[in-house]
Amino acid sequence: MRAPRVGVLALQGDTREHLAALRAAGAEASTVRRRSELDAVDGLVIPGGESTAMSHLLLDFDLLEPLRARLADGLPAYGACAGMILLASEILDAGADGRAALPLGGIDMTVRRNAFGRQVDSFEGDIPFEGLDSNVRAVFIRAPWVERVGDDVQVLARAAGHIVAVRQGAVLATAFHPEVTGDHRVHQLFVDMVNGRGDPAAT
């Protein structure tokens, strides 16, 4: 079996760490900035950054509707922090009209931006993650949380009583940044999902 081709959306945010984590998990990882690059990948990571800026860069690069279409067609995707926000079906505190974060609708969930507070309120801690054999080190930076999930959405982790990791089918999202910790298990889970081995019933 060939290594899956997994792209990292590289319009804004921390791409390098995700590329390294994906390669450590056995993927052929590359950046995605163009429609042709999006069309060529088997899965996509949407990194952290600023969700409003990322939304409008997707528009500027003519990627918003193609990405929505690929997600609707079953493209495996993983979103971290701002990526979680964009993968939601509904975004609370999305921003002012004209510069609001634009949901991609990859997961049936309602996400609140910057729910844990501002940059100075960033924190980290060890939390249980469904399906992993030990806690993950979760780094929260201006992090969102999930306020509502649909019936088909699996909750994978909580922090301070709030949902911070979810999965629906082939789409995974975390409010935290596993790419900065050196623990590649979340990325390995996603690569397994791209390969079709990450059974939701087993996670």
Mark the binding-site residues for L-glutamine, compressed into ranges.
49-51, 113, 141-142
Neighbours of 53 (CB within 10 A): 15
Find, among 23, 133, 14, the residue nearest to 81 by Cα: 14
> What contacts 190, CB < 8 A, 6 or more positions away?
6, 22, 25, 43, 45, 76, 78, 172, 198
Neighbours of 133 (CB within 10 A): 6
Q: Please say if 177 is a catalytic residue.
A: yes
List 18, 177, 184, 187, catalytic entry = 177
List 17, 18, 179, 184, catalytic entry = 179
List 17, 18, 56, 81, catalytic entry = 81
Q: Please say if 81 is a catalytic residue.
A: yes
Specify binding-site residues.
49-51, 113, 141-142
Question: From residue 78, how far is each of 46, 118, 120, 121, 187 by CA, in Å?
Answer: 6, 23, 26, 24, 9
Q: Please say if 18 is a catalytic residue.
A: no
Q: Which residues are catalytic?
A: 81, 177, 179
